[in-house]
Amino acid sequence: MNEHAGRLARAQAVMKREGIDALCVSVGSDLPYLTGYRAMPLERVTMLIVPADGHPELVVPGLEAPRVEVRDDAFTVTGWAESDDPIGIIDGLLGDVGTVAFGDETWSRFLLELQAINTARSFVPASEFMAGLRMVKSPDEIAALRRAAKTVDGVVDEMAGVRFSGRTERDVSREIIDRTISAGHDTMEFWIVASGPNGASPHHEPGERVIEPGDAVVVDFGGHQDGYSSDTTRMFVVGEAPYGFDDAFTVLYEAQSAAVDAVRPGVTAASLDAVARDIISEAGYGDLFIHRLGHGIGMDTHEHPYLIEGNDQVIEAGMAFSIEPGIYNPGEWGMRIEDIVVATGDGVERLNTSDRAYRVVS
Ligand code: ZN
Ligand code: ZN
């Protein structure tokens, strides 16, 4: 049985247990997770229909069908012609099912049309259901995440030897993009270079600010390699660190290390957030740590589990997520350290292994 047939069988087993009669997924990562095929986000509908019992069917625009790698043991492919009514085809395949779990990223238009045709079905979000399947990674998935992490770690090390001062954030971010693609990434998703006071905005868009001596620079970037995501943040300081930076960085480093060390099966997502937050708060910076500790990562850069207060999700071996506390001092500087980690049978593996101390650059 191939990997995707196995995942589809696992989905069907969970559907039976949870009383879901059919699963519909379209654009986004749920579809390639289950079939190996990533649909173009087109107005022409693509839909995988997985009945709790029976053979899954992938409905695709006829002109896209040649891109689907046929896996007859996993699912069959139905191509629809330009003059066909694809929603009618999907409705027919669903038949008289009662409860349909519907993919989060599927266009609402397709859902509304299906609901209008048949009001007897109830639709529920597929998010939790799919998160349950996707959160625990297989050894192959972890290997892919490890390769993606290694690529960005290499770029971090290269950037440590690069001049920052006198260049715009945008110029430095372009260099990061070029280096990461050259090193093996297929696509980039984000490329934050936030210098000086811009560092206090966690998702700053790199712009025309010219980096100066005395700036702390937040560098947070990632993309995709072989279908899996990377995401790392390291700090660069141009010459002398700004006032107050070193004291805060010592605290941040300790908080990030302690949270990574606390990862093991059985702890909750919320408890990991608390480990870092308590250290930062006790040092007096609690109000400046303005976001959750981290997010799951896999085919998507942000996916379950989310490491945030109130999330009682229990960490299991194979879950992969970021540990990324930050301290943001408005108008002055910001800082963040981010690693992707995987919970192992008895602890944790850090996938990003580049030096977490800040790099002094010219
Ligand atoms: Zn990041
Ligand atoms: Zn992240």
User: What pLDDT does residue 1 have?
Assistant: 59
pLDDT at 51 over 90: yes
pLDDT at 112 over 90: yes
**pTM (2 decimals)?**
0.94
- In whole angstroms, give the CA distance from residue 128 to residue 46: 21
Residue 341 — very low, low, confident or very high, per pLDDT cuts 50/70/90? very high
Query: According to CATH, where is 3.40.350.10 located in the chain?
Result: 3-134
Please state the rounded mean pLDDT for residues 279-299: 98
Q: How far is the CA of 220 from the centre of ligand 2 (A)?
A: 8
CATH no. of 136-361: 3.90.230.10
Residues, CB within 5 angstroms of ligand 1 (ion): 220, 231, 233, 338
Please state the rounded mean pLDDT for residues 145-160: 98
What confidence tens digit (pLDDT) does each residue in 54-72 have?
Answer: 999 999 999 999 999 888 8
CA–chain centroid gap for 229, Å, is 6
Strands 22-25 and 47-51: antiparallel
Query: According to CATH, where is 3.90.230.10 located in the chain?
Result: 136-361
User: What pLDDT does residue 128 have?
Assistant: 87
Q: Report phi then psi at 232, rounded to 5.
A: -140, 150
Q: How far is the CA of 336 from the centre of ligand 1 (A)?
A: 9
**Angle of CA points 299, 353, 177, to nearest 5°:** 55
Q: How far is the CA of 311 from the centre of ligand 2 (A)?
A: 17
- In whole angstroms, give the CA distance from residue 141 to residue 301: 13
Residues, CB within 5 angstroms of ligand 2 (ion): 231, 322
pLDDT at 291 over 70: yes
CATH level 3 topology of 3-134: Creatine Amidinohydrolase; Chain A, domain 1 (3.40.350)
**pLDDT averaged over the chain?**
96
- In whole angstroms, give the CA distance from residue 25 to residue 129: 12
pLDDT at 33 over 80: yes
- In whole angstroms, give the CA distance from residue 33 to residue 133: 9
What confidence tens digit (pLDDT) does each residue in 153-196 have?
Answer: 999 999 999 999 999 999 999 999 999 999 999 999 999 999 99
What DSSP line would sit under 293-323, residue for residue?
A: SEEE-SSSSSEEEEE-TT--PBP-TTBEEEE
Report which residue type is found at 269: A
